[in-house]
Structure 1
Amino acid sequence: MLTGASSLPTLETPRLRLRWMTEADIPALFELFSHPEVTRYWSWSAYTERAQAEKLLGNIHKYFAERSLFNWGFARREDDRIIGTCTLSDLSGQHRRASLGYALNRAHWGHGYGREAVGRLVEFGFTSLELHRLEADVDPRNTSSLQVLEGLGFQREGYQRERYFLNGEIQDAVLYGLLRPEWRPGPASS
């Protein structure tokens, strides 16, 4: 998967650019992941120090080199400032599947950017990477995220009770999946 590439390809949508992140994006990453509402259902607590965003970027580059995680930053085309991230993790070439994750800066909620970015990533996974299955697990209280997945055709496949211990509480997860034959490209994928 992306053999020989030194960075991720840039993916375009009508309003966004999903791109490789550099050190210049550390302030935007810190802003994104330091907001408690953004990390409410995330796999870690809100950042309190810039060094955490620096470490994240280092891990993004390290795991890309290992081809175990592909993490794009996405930015509005008008200013190229990172407002969110989209990730394919748990990549399996043998089984042709990956897990999907995404986060959007709180200041940009409600404008459809998440659906647009995730829709483009789904298209890339099924076409360029030739995956057969994409999956995501979401806290069942995260209604916005559930709407993004369902709007893209993902189907609810299971309920995982008390799967995570985050932010001082035990959290459930809902498992969603989308198969390549079920996928229907939409306008956000153009």
Structure 2
Amino acid sequence: MITLKGKDIYLRALEPNDLEFVYAMENDETIWEVSNTQTPYSRFLIRQYLENAQQDIYEAKQLRLAICKDDDFPAVGLIDLFDFDPKNNKAGIGIVIQGGANRKQNIGSEALELLINYSFYHLNLHQLYANIDEENTASKALFTKFGFECIGIKKDWNLVNGIYKDEGLYQLINQKTDASELT
């Protein structure tokens, strides 16, 4: 089981008893825009997902971890590596924190830092990328804080409530690796 510990939070593998939390997050229409979700998920589908969530990242091509406070077990957010490409040593990264009291507590910063370090130093990734709505100033600030750079704008990329929105492509290159070091 993967557990990554920070100062105030830790990241852990998803467990079967995360069903209700994942169900609530996946079906929260207020975050569908950032997760590119189109339709609700059933508990049955999420239960099946959780049963297979323990697959190795090399097999599943993704890794989803629960974000938890201190030594508390219940999750307050999720952080993902997706589109994992071991041939080219890259992956997408996304994060969502449960609303309310969990926001603006440095949880996202600490979780992102932990997953960046894990990605670069344990998975030996050369780069990470994030797709961020151009109006999402909080996410842009979070990712740029860790050195992600906007390398392009995808114009009219996502249709949200009848309006096309631009999406930025943010990239972080691991400066401590090059292809010759990884072979």
- Which among 113, 129, 154 is matched to residue 107 of structure 2? 113
> Is the contact made by 2:13 and 2:54 (CA closer than 8 Å) also made in structure 1?
no
Partners of 1:70 and 1:32 lie apart in 2 by: 16
Counterpart of 1:153? 147
- Pairing of 1:74-153 with structure 2 (within 5 A): 74-107=67-100, 108-153=102-147
8 A Cα contact 1:100 1:136, kept in partner: yes
Shift of 1:177: 0.5
Match for 1:17 among 6, 10, 16? Answer: 10
> Relative to structure 1, is the Cα distance of residues 33 and 67 closer, same or farther in structure 2, using a 3 angstrom cutoff?
closer
Q: What letter is aligned with 1:137?
A: N
Q: How far apart are residue 62 of structure 1 and its match?
A: 5.6
With structure 2 as the length reference, what TM-score do the two structures score? Answer: 0.83
Deviation string, structure 1 residues 116-172 (Cα, Å, up to 9, x no partner): 101110011111111111111111111111111011111110000122345655332
1:163 aligned onto 2:154: no
- Give me the whole-angstrom Cα distance separating, in 2, the residues matched to 1:140 and 1:58: 35
Unpaired segments of 5 or more residues in structure 1? 1-6, 184-190
Does 2:62 correspond to 1:34? no
Q: Percent identity?
A: 22
Question: With CA pairs under 8 Å and 6+ residues apart, which has the higher RCO, 1 or 2?
Answer: 1
Tell me which residue corresponds to 2:181: none
Structure 2 Cα separation of the partners of residues 61 and 167 of structure 1: 35
Partner residue of 1:188? Answer: none
4+ runs of 1 displaced by more than 6 Å? none
**Which consecutive unaligned segments of at least 5 residues does structure 2 have?**
178-183
**Distance across 1 between alignment mates of 2:160 and 2:11:** 28
| Change in CA separation of 1:60 and 1:143 when aligned onto 2, cut-off 3 Å | farther
Q: Find the partner of 2:59 among 61, 66, 88.
A: 66
How far did 1:74 drift?
Answer: 1.1
Alignment partners' CA distance in 1, 2:86 and 2:113: 21
Give the TM-score taking structure 1 as reference length: 0.81
Distance (whole Å) between structure 2 residues aligned to residue 102 and residue 59 of structure 1: 20
Paired residue total: 176
